[in-house]
A and B are shown apart, each in its own frame.
Chain A
Amino acid sequence: MTKLLPPRSLVAVVPLLLVGAPASAHTGAVAGGFLGGFAHPLLGPDHVIAMVAVGLWGALLGAPAIWLLPIAFPLIMTFGGVLGIIGLPIPAVETGIAASAAVLGLMVALKARPPLWIAVALVGIFAVFHGHAHGAELPVGADAAAFSIGFVVATGLLHLSGVTFGLLARWPAGGIAVRAAGGAIAVAGILFLIRWQ
């Protein structure tokens, strides 16, 4: 039988095996961070319907709300996110998120047209709740920058999908479909609210 390894070399090999660390490419953390962040808003159905409702309402309100809401929302959401990161509690965050779906869905269903500042204030208040939930759950292990980019982009794309669907309201049948979607979002929001009580 061929002697593959002299016994003395085991003295060197065993410590090598003991101290060997797993390969940890920086790029993996970035990719994992981005995908984790991107999936984060998509995995919460209450987040998803509320974000789509923001886009639908913006499209129904028309300019300048159609672009002001998607620009303002991430920035206001950041304020809530910072509160979550530093651990400053906001009461009833999950209730606030569910309420955002119910109220914004209702606004779309009723085709409500309040003054712009009221619409921005309403969306802004709810953005703080959404931001707080995201901020409190930001992972330390994954690449934080990639995670933040991922979830901000996903949130923005949900707004844009709402805006795109909301543009159907230019046609009568599309308008009915958009308002029906708003109604469905409101009902789902109310169900989430009941769950959190």
Chain B
Amino acid sequence: MIAAAALAWLLITAAPASAHDVVPGVGGSLGGLLHPVLVPAHALALTALGLLVAQQAPRHRMGLLAAFAASLGAGILVIVSAFAVADAQYAVLGVAAAAGLAVALARPLLAPVAALVGLFGGVAVELDSAPEEISMQRTFLSLVGTAVGALLVVVLVAGLAIHLRRGWQRIGVRIVGSWIAASAILVLALRLAR
């Protein structure tokens, strides 16, 4: 009887588990891999970054991708060093808005500016993907999964967009950029205002 009462007390007072898993029950590296695709704000930012890479001069594309990959790694190091950043979602939405606007304007960016967007984007995506794991190993695996997923999305989008060379196709890319920027700015305003 005492044990049952104790169990009941435990159940009543226990807080619900609130893991950051996008798909409930799917954590670890697979959860991390899916995270950039299933969180809309991340998908917006990464798609915009991929389109931005495709719009740059060919000699600058690899540099931008390298900067993005390096910043994903830096983001992992920051989190495993137990350095937490609150509200990294704003940075992700800011990257989506900036990259989307740049895609809509379709003006090649100066290489340092493009690299800065890539660097900021990678760190922001990782910082906003920190899982609520107790185990350092599972946290690391999840973050590596996120890095691989994010890099895959950017490379795939860029690879597809590079082949869109006709006039109307380039206009389509710019329209998608304006949609991404519009969505990101609205969500940013909504989250800051409420």
List chain A positions with a Cβ less than 8 A from chain B: 8-9, 11-12, 14-16, 18-19, 21, 23, 25-27, 30, 33-34, 67, 70-72, 74-75, 77-78, 81-82, 85-87, 135, 138, 140, 143-146, 148-149, 152-153, 156
Contacts and interface: CB of A to CB of B under 8 A. Distances in A.
B186 A135 contact: yes
A144 B192 CA distance: 12
Interface string B72-114: 0000000000000000000001000000010010000000000
Interface of B: 1, 4-5, 7-8, 11-12, 16, 21-24, 38-41, 44, 93, 101, 104, 171, 174-175, 177-179, 181-187, 189-191, 193-194
30 contacts: A8-B1, A8-B4, A11-B1, A11-B5, A12-B8, A26-B22, A30-B38, A67-B171, A70-B178, A71-B174, A71-B175, A72-B178, A74-B181, A75-B178, A77-B182, A78-B186, A81-B182, A81-B185, A82-B185, A82-B186, A135-B189, A140-B190, A144-B190, A145-B39, A145-B41, A145-B44, A149-B179, A152-B179, A153-B179, A156-B175
Contacts of A15: 8, 11-12
Contacts of B184: 148
B40 A146 contact: yes
B190 A138 contact: yes
A67 B175 CA distance: 8
Given A11-B8, A85-B190, A140-B194, A74 B41 contact: no
Given A9-B4, A11-B5, A19-B12, A27 B179 contact: no
* A interface majority secondary structure: helix
A74 B191 contact: no
B183 A75 contact: no
B58 to A, nearest CB: 24
Contacts of A152: 179, 182-183, 186
Contacts of B177: 71
A71 B187 contact: no
A124 B130 CA distance: 40
Contact of B179 (A11, A19, A74, A135): A74
Nearest to B170: A67
